[in-house]
Structure 1
């Protein structure tokens, strides 16, 4: 991929960038803020590289991205998967408006289109032109990033809550039942809060837990009894905590047996380090074969030619699974 910037900028924009091939840096010499490893002679970022995700020779499947060393199917928010990384196509110099559309040297990507100027009120936060009122990476000012649970609104990182909860101060609360925020933030209730209104007693089908009227049959915070919390990825059904639909209980956790590398297809069935779990089966990308916890193309790989145990002699190559 052509790089329109200096080597450092190119590395930041392209996680699959091979620094050892384009600069004099080695993995040992580079800035330690980048999680790089030497894989087959190339210095790669195993936090983001789709061919070495989480470690060398651990590729992701097509349409997956590598984030924090884990293969993920899609990207958060409005970001898109381009070349195996999640990018903002509204500001990315390498993927402006769509994957693979690169801006020329000296241009900025503004709202998904290449432009020679960064128009106000946007600011240049090298190397991109961003709206600091809405950018989660540059919220309010350059290089001020919001946490994962917050969005940037008018230059301020605001808490993002899942319905029916509402952000009140620094907490997500249900204003239908919360006695301190009954019907809205900072609206305390002297009695019980039920459906966003203060009442003196709970309806017959509900139970008072603290100053809230709750349904012990469905409330994940009071499932079967007051303050009996369900765990992450659990729902409260008939007063019992159960895994969300399409998830299964393995030990103390709810997991997706179709994609979980530690519990692939069944609880406790772990895939090899180089494999991914796809539709409940451990597999390598592109039909490769697992050999010594690595994925290899036994049709072409001279060290695993035809099968895992056959290595070609020095000077020979592997063609269609045979040494020649």
Structure 2
């Protein structure tokens, strides 16, 4: 977005407009004494263009800006364009300004405050989680501005701000180590003869990466024969 013109530039335009308005055009007359209108029309068009440009620049600086420090000459009071309203020397939007929420100098308090439709809100609540009109669904909690299900969220297990260790799972709101009943995913059990290793169900009798146990890996030239690394 282009930066609005500065105050000195606007003052210069106003001076030019005043000079243009006050100057009297030189009127040429033809041989029979009739006034030639070409020069008058040309000056009128020029003056109208300058006035129109000045009006646009002034309005751009007066309406819709947060810094409303340029007063109208007629009233000396800054005019704010919708949706802004006048609070002291500034134009503010009382619908979402946490320092002027619903009224001038009405500040919203809290660790994560917000202003929604002129009413103070808590952006850590499930009704306005992280922003206006962002309500969590049933069963979700608002954690750090995001709606999560704490019963299975690794970073917020059981409650906001309760992370599980890297290798753990969050199952029913509890951090647990993977086992044969919860291998990689909560409730994913391994069948008979299988062991949960690194989140996978494997047969340690013949798995070369987990030969005999989860931590035993055979060399590339070896095979796993009934839990023992063996050269073929």
> With structure 1 as the length reference, what TM-score do the two structures score?
0.22
Structure with the larger strand share: 1
Structure with the larger helix share: 2
> With structure 2 as the length reference, what TM-score do the two structures score?
0.29
> Which structure has the larger Rg over C-alpha atoms?
2
